[in-house]
């Protein structure tokens, strides 16, 4: 006859097995962030090759970046658990809303677009710093540096440093470049977990 203690142990074991299989799936897909990181870096390089003369064109481009960031967070939700899952859901929703606003009002002024983009960079930078502090990045200083750069770009975008369209291109390009590097770091961290 099973005791209450054995029933409790049996109820815990399936979730532990499920969590273990999720971790193995994440580690097995270590190459996926390399692909997304490479695409972000290519995007940042190609962006500077085109001549965007209007805030409307850059706003649409920024909307694409935000929607891509939301999709990337949505893909990561099944691979996360606990507060990380809640954080990824919140980021995906915020990025999607910011992207939709950029599509709906592409002709807004420079100030409005810079403010929205600064908010995007601030969220992304804070999330990267949290990942670094929780030792998800090895070496930790690299994750902290990437987060600090993103937050620095956020304050630069929020400040009044000249209302030039080319600055929006620089901000979007630099943020895509930093995010691509963060993704590649993540991939190699997952790969080292696989070998451990």
The pLDDT, as a whole number, for residue 5 is: 46
Are the CB atoms for 103 and 63 separated by under 8 Å?
Answer: yes
The pLDDT, as a whole number, for residue 11 is: 47
Q: pLDDT: is 126 or 28 the higher one?
A: 126
Residue 140 lies in a domain: yes
Residue 71 lies in a domain: yes
Residue 14 lies in a domain: no
The pLDDT, as a whole number, for residue 93 is: 92
Are the CB atoms for 176 and 65 separated by under 8 Å?
Answer: yes
DSSP 8-class letter at 31: T
Residue 65 lies in a domain: yes
Residue 15 lies in a domain: no
| Burial of 36 per CB tally in 10 Å (0-12, 13-18, 19+) | buried
Residue 12 lies in a domain: no
Range in 46-55, 68-77, 79-88, 142-151 with the lowest mean pLDDT: 46-55
With left for phi above 0 and alpha for psi between -120 and 50, is residue 82 left, alpha or beta? Answer: left
Residue 16 lies in a domain: no
Are the CB atoms for 164 and 171 separated by under 8 Å?
Answer: no
Question: In this predicted model, what pLDDT tens digit does every residue of 147-196 receive, in sequence order?
Answer: 898 898 888 877 765 556 667 777 778 878 888 888 888 888 777 777 66
> Domain tally for the chain?
1
Distance of CA 104 to the CA centre of its chain: 22
Question: In this predicted model, what pLDDT tens digit does every residue of 118-130 receive, in sequence order?
Answer: 887 888 888 888 8
Residue 88 lies in domain: 31-195
Q: Which residues contact 104 (CB under 8 A, 6 or more apart)?
A: none
Residue 7 lies in a domain: no
């Amino acid at each position: 006859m099973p005791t209450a203690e054995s029933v409790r142990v049996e109820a815990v074991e399936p979730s532990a097995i499920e969590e273990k299989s999720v971790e193995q799936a994440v580690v097995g897909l270590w190459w996926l962030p390399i692909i997304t990181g490479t695409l972000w870096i290519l995007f940042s390089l190609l962006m500077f090759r085109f001549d965007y003369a209007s805030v409307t064109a850059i706003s649409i481009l920024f909307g694409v970046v935000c929607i891509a960031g939301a999709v990337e967070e949505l893909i990561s939700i099944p691979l996360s658990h606990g507060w990380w899952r809640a954080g990824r859901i919140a980021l995906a929703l915020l990025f999607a809303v910011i992207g939709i606003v950029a599509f709906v009002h592409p002709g807004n002024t420079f100030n409005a677009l810079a403010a929205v983009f600064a908010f995007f960079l601030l969220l992304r930078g804070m999330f990267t710093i949290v990942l670094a502090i929780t030792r998800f990045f090895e070496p930790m200083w690299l994750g902290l540096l990437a987060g600090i750069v993103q937050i620095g770009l956020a304050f630069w975008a929020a400040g009044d440093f000249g209302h030039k369209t080319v600055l929006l291109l620089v901000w979007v390009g630099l943020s895509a470049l930093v995010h691509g590097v963060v993704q590649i770091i993540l991939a190699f961290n997952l790969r080292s977990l696989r070998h451990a």
